[in-house]
Amino acid sequence: MIKITFPDGNVKEFEAGITAYQIAEGISPRLAADVLAASVNGKVYDLDRPIMEDASLKLHKWEDQEAKTTFWHSSSHLMAEALESLYPGVKFGIGPAIENGFYYDIDLGEKQLVEADLAAIEQKMLELARTKEQFTRIDVSKAEAMKKYTEKGDQYKCELIDGLDDGTITFYTNGAFTDLCRGPHLRDTSMIKAVKLTSIAGAYWRGDENNKMLTRIYGITFPKKSLLDEYLVLLEEAKKRDHRKLGKELELFTFSSKVGMGLPLWLPKGAALRERLEQFLRKVQKEYGYQQVITPHIGNKELYITSGHWAKYGKDSFRPITTPEEGEEYLLKPMNCPHHCEIYKSKPRSYKDLPLRFAEFGTVYRYEQSGELHGLTRVRGFTQDDAHLFCRQDQIKEEFCKIIDIILYIFKTLDFKEFTAQISLRDPNNKTKYIGSDENWAKAEAAIIEASAEKNLPTVVEYGEAAFYGPKLDFMVKDAIGRKWQLGTIQVDYNLPERFELEYTGADDKKYRPVMIHRAPFGSMERFVAVLLEHTGGKFPLWLTPDQVAVLPVSEKYNDFAKKVCDLLNNSDIRAFLDDRNETIGKKIRENEMKRVPFLLIVGEKEQESNTVSVRRQGEGDKGAMSVEEFKNFIKEEIQKQLN
């Protein structure tokens, strides 16, 4: 007999070999029908996989991410089966579940898939799903696995198998299709009721530009058609909010092939918006005792060898820059932290000096693969709102609390209402991949957990997700249409102080290592602006928006009065512009609303005579007449309210 512990703490005994599905069935047939996967001792299992020892058990329904991941991973195998049926001889790379759906990288030889081919693949998937094919797990030896795919002529699977240890290899079969896979999977394909293949892209095998370009098919599936319909509506809304589209419409940023892929050019309105974000954070940081520093865009290669970034990021960096000095090499900096370590080391430090908080809007460079570049969210040059805090071990919790305060203030001001804080800790069963003493790790992890509890953060704990140099706290934010973005991170680091031999003198006159905390509330200015654009649909908060007010004369007779109003507003630090085009007032209103200008001031004969403006607000329509002074006060109060 084995003991199964349920999430509520209840413990029951079952015969060894019982499955999660059988346990669910014993609780309720309805539950068994809804369950898609199970976590056994924290690891996601197939529902029909025997449980052989005492374990904690959690059953996952569609609402759980573990269930969705299992569902979409199974769907990628179903798509692969459909492809093999429609295109005999197709070869397969990898086919994982992703945040929303799945993809599979395939090699069709000379055949080029186009969007029009996707409908037939979808139909074949639904046809196969209805046959209720079971997903069957098979343990195989490395030799057997290699033999199968050598005979099949699939060099991609052979390459994957070559990197696996014997005794760890499993196949999964559904219908006529067998795949190299760790699982887990659904019980059978009948649960997949709705299918949409969303796009086709190119992807180099293993992300290496020297390898063959494979065809990547993206898709998503659901257990009900109504869920697919809801998703497609969401997809349409996401297209409208695409930051690349909005960035062009609002004249915020552009790209140039002559400048280089993944290197954004900020246009005047975008540069001003970015500057306002920076000033906003600078002001907050000043209140919390941060000191601004500036470091160069390059550094000697030896700096990054010392920090370990050359070993970790060397292959993703731009090639070293050689100088006329023989053997001398520089790198475009991939990280700001080594530079900040050298600033710390520039003079002796005492325990009384700590904590030291160095902040920098520092631009870094990484050579992302061209296929991975995406608007502002994945670029090759980006500016981090970086800060590095050097503190004593007993100061970690207090510093964490203060950083959390900053992040929560940013979220509130920018209307990010839903978020989860992920506490990433060491894998307690495999400590060999981490540096630092058990004592230091215990203190740092406790500090993060306690700080999160004190601030009443909604948290999830993930073991094994810590960085090798220390635990961290990542903020996962939901945007206005329910998508998740990682914004804001706080990381404890024992590694760099060790590598750079950083020290401070304690009260006992002995030398100690400081603890280093990395934090970036925005993450990067580029990615944050992209997320903010999509979250707001381009309707930025009033204090941040590029153009706050458009002044619209109803005819050219009132242009002088309109210009006077515009000048009065600009002289009061309200961003206003004059739209004196020879167009109808209706057209000017429509076009400025399309540009997401928050306030439109219409001026004509009545307004000129009474020295007033007729106010229209984006999304709310006519707000009546105000004097210019009243409007100035109104808009300033509104901004103050948002920032407080």
Tokens for 126?
């639904």
Active-site hit among 60, 472, 596, 632: 472
Concerning whether 366 is annotated as a catalytic residue, the answer is yes
The H or E element that residue 472 is part of is strand 472-478
Contact yes or no for 93/40 (Cβ under 8 A): no
3-state secondary structure 174-189: ECCEEEECCCCCCCEH
In whole angstroms, what separates CA 602 from the centre of its chain? 41
Distance CA 628, CA 633 (A): 9
Distance CA 200, CA 113 (A): 8
Active-site hit among 386, 474, 479, 493: 386
Concerning whether 535 is annotated as a catalytic residue, the answer is no
624: which DSSP letter?
E
Question: How buried is 396 (Cβ within 10 angstroms: 0-12 exposed, 13-18 middle, 19+ buried)?
Answer: buried
Contact yes or no for 370/393 (Cβ under 8 A): no
The backbone torsions φ and ψ at residue 639, rounded to the nearest 5 degrees and listed phi first, read: -65, -45
Q: Is the previous residue joined to 184 through a cis bond, with omega within 30 degrees of 0?
A: yes
Concerning whether 486 is annotated as a catalytic residue, the answer is no
What lies within 8 Å, CB to CB, of 563 at 6+ separation is 551, 578, 580
Contact yes or no for 566/551 (Cβ under 8 A): yes
Active-site hit among 60, 241, 518, 527: 518
Active-site hit among 285, 384, 395, 548: 384
What lies within 8 Å, CB to CB, of 583 at 6+ separation is 591
Max Cα-Cα span within the chain: 92
In whole angstroms, what separates CA 126 from the centre of its chain? 32
Concerning whether 518 is annotated as a catalytic residue, the answer is yes
Active-site hit among 48, 301, 337, 616: 337
Q: Residue 474 CB: number of other CB atoms within 10 A? A: 19
Distance CA 617, CA 640 (A): 18
Concerning whether 297 is annotated as a catalytic residue, the answer is no
Concerning whether 640 is annotated as a catalytic residue, the answer is no
What lies within 8 Å, CB to CB, of 153 at 6+ separation is 91
Contact yes or no for 224/472 (Cβ under 8 A): no
Distance CA 67, CA 46 (A): 10
Per-position DSSP letters for 380-393, written without gaps between them = SEEEEEEEEEEE-G
In whole angstroms, what separates CA 629 from the centre of its chain? 43
- Please name every residue paired with 511 in a beta bridge, in sequence order, or none if there are none: 505
The backbone torsions φ and ψ at residue 617, rounded to the nearest 5 degrees and listed phi first, read: -115, 140
Concerning whether 422 is annotated as a catalytic residue, the answer is no
- Please name every residue paired with 329 in a beta bridge, in sequence order, or none if there are none: 322
Contact yes or no for 43/37 (Cβ under 8 A): no
320: which DSSP letter?
P
Active-site hit among 77, 366, 519, 632: 366
Active-site hit among 388, 426, 513, 596: 388
Residues catalogued as catalytic: 337, 366, 384, 386, 388, 472, 518
